[in-house]
Amino acid sequence: MPVKLPSDALDDLTKTFARDRDYCDALMSSSNRDSVAKILVYYKWARHYLPHIQTGLVSIAEKRFPESCRENAKAWTAFLTGGVLKDICLIPYLVLRGVFSEAGFVIRRSLEHVGVLTHVWEDPSKAEILNDADSPKFQTAFIREVDKSKCDALKARGIGKRFAAYSNFAKPASDLYRFLSSADVHGGIPLHVVRSLAGEDAISCGFVDRRDPGEKHTVTLLTSGVEILCVEMSALHGKYGKRYDITPPMVGEGGRYLAGLLSPTNEPSPNMVREIEAVFQDLGLSVTDASTIH
């Protein structure tokens, strides 16, 4: 008699692995499949290029930071960049299983990581504060603007102090962060609590109350979050790589590749359309006419 594996026994109890597969199939058959494919496109970019950006930034830190805080800056740059890569890999893992709320937590955390990185690189003196995240100095350096005129200017632009040093998406990152903080971190509306107490259904399991695979708004926000993380990490290296003449070939390639994925309109760029189609092919999905991808 064959011995039942622990994973099989657990699935008998909770249906968790079977529901993972069922949910993934339902999600990739829903109206969200283009957005999920975009997340996978950015994931592939991050896996390929972020390690080179990490190495490049550590090299640039030798020139950017004074000797007194250089090693601390290099260590935190490596740590925070690695954390962003880890999170960009975790986001599709959670999304494909319908755990959208937790994916939001992950994006929120990495938005903070990039905020700290951009502040430190903009003002190298802040590297000395990184080791004490609970100190008042950390709060004023990265989170709370104490200068009234600067505070008023940021408020007028709808930008949080955390994201004031972002190169491209300070306002979208501030808006997304506020939404994620309100909807998930601080409990959100009572409906979330009611849903969390619901019984098992066709897409949920004993562990997770999965979201409707056709729920458009949340997936769109998560896709935007991944895009912001990739763009800001690339822009950070681009800014200081040019200033200090340190741009490894793979970093330059990654920047050009990412720029080709972006679009100034709501319609995806031709490069993004091609990459989405490639994801569909990899997953064995039928590739529709490019005009239907949005």
Interatomic CA distance for residues 164 and 153, integer angstroms: 11
- Token pair 């309100």: residue: 182
Give the dihedral of Cα atoms 55, 255, 217, 81; nearest 10 deg: 10
Query: DSSP alpha helices (H): ranges in 2-32?
Result: 6-14, 16-27
The CB density around residue 291, as the number of other CB atoms within 10 Å, is 8
pLDDT by residue for the chain (294 residues), tens only, comes to 678 899 999 999 999 999 999 999 999 999 999 999 999 999 999 999 999 999 999 999 999 999 999 999 999 999 999 999 999 999 999 999 999 989 999 999 999 999 999 999 999 999 999 999 889 999 999 999 999 999 999 999 999 999 999 999 999 999 999 999 987 554 444 434 444 444 556 788 999 888 889 988 899 999 999 999 999 999 999 999 999 999 999 999 999 999 999 999 889 999 999 999 999 999 999 876 444 565
DSSP per-residue letters across the chain: -PPPPHHHHHHHHH-HHHHHHHHHHHHTTSTTHHHHHHHHHHHHHHHHHHHHHHHHHHHHHHHHS-HHHHHHHHHHHHHHHHHHHHHHHHHHHHHTTT-HHHHHHHHHHHHHHHHHHHHHHHSGGGGGGTT-TTSHHHIIIII----HHHHHHHHHHT--GGGTT-SS-HHHHHHHHHHHIIIIIT---HHHHHHHTPPP-SS--SS--PPPTT-HHHHHHHHHHHHHHHHHHHHHHHHHHHHTT---HHHHHHHHHHHHH--SSSSPPHHHHHHHHHHHHHTTPPPPPGGG--
Which pLDDT score is estimated for 266?
A: 86
Alpha-carbon Rg of the chain, whole angstroms? 21
Which pLDDT score is estimated for 183?
A: 73
Which pLDDT score is estimated for 182?
A: 85
Domain ranges of the chain: 17-283
Which pLDDT score is estimated for 192?
A: 47
Interatomic CA distance for residues 238 and 242, integer angstroms: 6
